[in-house]
Structure 1
Amino acid sequence: MPTQFSSSASTVRGLTRAALCTACACLLAPVSIPIGPVSLTLGVFAILLAGALLPPALAALSACAYLLLGFAGLPVFAGFAAGPGVLFGMTGGYLLAYPIMAWLLSMVCEKTRSRGVRMAGVALANLCCYLLGTAWFMAATGMGLWASLSACVIPFILPDLAKGWCALWLAERLR
């Protein structure tokens, strides 16, 4: 019996941590600075924090829960936006990449304690977001590659890497 109880307690603990990461995303992501069609938001920080703190499945689950809350109408997206129109709008690809980002970073963090390799995981997670989001943006707007990269990726590279570094730093402290 103790093993079964320990497993159950571990599951509850993991789901609680995932829910707290979802709440963190819901609180931080609406804080944004519009700098074009895509806003500079703390949502990326929250998603990377989930990836740095949680096992891969729970990290992705946390990001999916955040997206579902926004889809359902809670104002948790950039600028306190909400609903399917945001999730499937011209910048929705960046949001839909969040579970992949969290899962990828979590996979890297699970394999190594090296800060350099973990930062490479942050870069890889951001690259996935940029690829999916920019392809979606181009399909939705008809803008070309260079114009889309100039508006939706280039201004975000350094801030997103800084958010990733901060997420890794905070995750180390929280552990």
Structure 2
Amino acid sequence: MRLYLVRHPKPLVAADTCYGGTDLAVPAEEQARVLSALCAALPEREPLFCSPLQRCAVLADSLADALHAGPAIHDARLAEMSFGSWEMRAWEQIPRAEIDAWADDLVHYRPGGGENVLQAAQRVRAFHDDLKQSRRECAIVICHAGTMRLMMACQHGLPPAEMALRAARLPHTIAYGELIVLDC
């Protein structure tokens, strides 16, 4: 199966803000820029899945129309990790001891009392496994950088805890609107 992973466009949020599970809008100009670039790069008439958060869902719905893909399938398993009380706080305002505690236990620590990377890995793995079992030749997934890193870790057949650790250790280098193609 060929999997087209797309990170959402840049949302309306200040730089250096923790916003994992927060539902943020995207400026219309940014939405249009990413939509135009993706229409030229993605195949038509292929199933399209997305995180239900609007920074993904609005793009996915527009892409589904433009690519004649049928309605986009909004799947909560593709949402970004929730950072609990850290959400919408500047990273510099989060106590250093809390960030260090997360760094010491990347898999199990629940930043801000939210979700841990293992929980995110388990739901992303479940989505990935369901997609593989569907025996589709191709699928497009509009999601988040964290979700994309976890989807890439699925490629190695690791159990969720190892998958979570691998994804958590990957540098965050996925740009807004970036397309990554995986052959599963």
TM-score range, shorter chain: 0.3 to 0.5
Instruction: Name the TM-score, length of structure 2 as normaliser.
Output: 0.36
Instruction: Name the TM-score, length of structure 1 as normaliser.
Output: 0.37
Higher relative contact order (CA 8 A, sep 6+): 2
Name the one with the larger helix percent. 1
Name the one with the larger strand percent. 2
